[in-house]
Amino acid sequence: MKHFAALLGKEERAVFFSPIAYALIAVFLLLMGYTFTSVLFLNKLASLSHIFFQMSALFLLMVPIITMRLVAEERKSGTLEVLLTAPVREIEVVLAKFVASMTLIAAMLALSASYPVVLALYGNPDWGPVYSGYLGLILFAGALLAIGLLISSLTSNQIVAAVISLGLFFLSWMIDSVGYLLPDPFDTASVSLSLLAHLSPFALGSVFLSDVGFFLSVMLVGLFLSVRALARR
């Protein structure tokens, strides 16, 4: 536990001492603030459903930037080998990087908590979709981070890691629209793999155990394979 705490502190400093983190937060708040203002004051909609879908689309673009350097940078610089020769386990390294990245995502979502507060001042929102929407975004971002961390563990090139992660994210985002064109049972299988299909119920106020289980499964598989990738270094 002491080793994990030290690793987590190292990764937190690496994330929040980097200007990239603050650039991502600034861009996230700027774009989401514009969208929120448009939805609330121009369209007169006291709902955050549109906001949640826009946040998820931004995460598709931002998470590859967060994860591309997590392992690839250390592998290229040679510091990964030094780190893994220390008395730490691969799973501790992977979890520390994952939790530190989740902290950045949580900071973005926490700063966006002003949106439901403003919504309550100007309207009478249904709080169920607000709570479920934020839960869905946390699970969604966790799944993306686990996949991105896995890709970063397999290469020493940050750009390659970012491009592959971005491609996989958009493929898993759009696969349901392609799935409807496929014959049974491929249509059902492709839709069941869609990130958007599993996120949509959360944004609309519904929480299903199957959707929670899907995101948790993606996270666990991604982290497990990341550990195995480090173990086979």
HEC letters along 3-66: HHHHHHHHHHHHHHCCHHHHHHHHHHHHHHHHHHHHHHHHCCCCCCHHHHHHHHHHHHHHHHHH
User: How far is residue 207's CA from residue 33's CA, in Å, rounded to a whole number?
Assistant: 26
List, for residues 113-129, the tens digit of each pLDDT value: 888 888 778 777 778 88
Closest CA to 3 of 93, 69, 67: 93
Please tell me the pTM assigned to this model: 0.89
pLDDT digits (tens, 9 = 90+) for 165-220: 898 888 887 776 766 666 666 667 777 778 888 888 898 888 889 889 999 999 99
Place of tokens 């996989």: 168
pLDDT at 200: 86
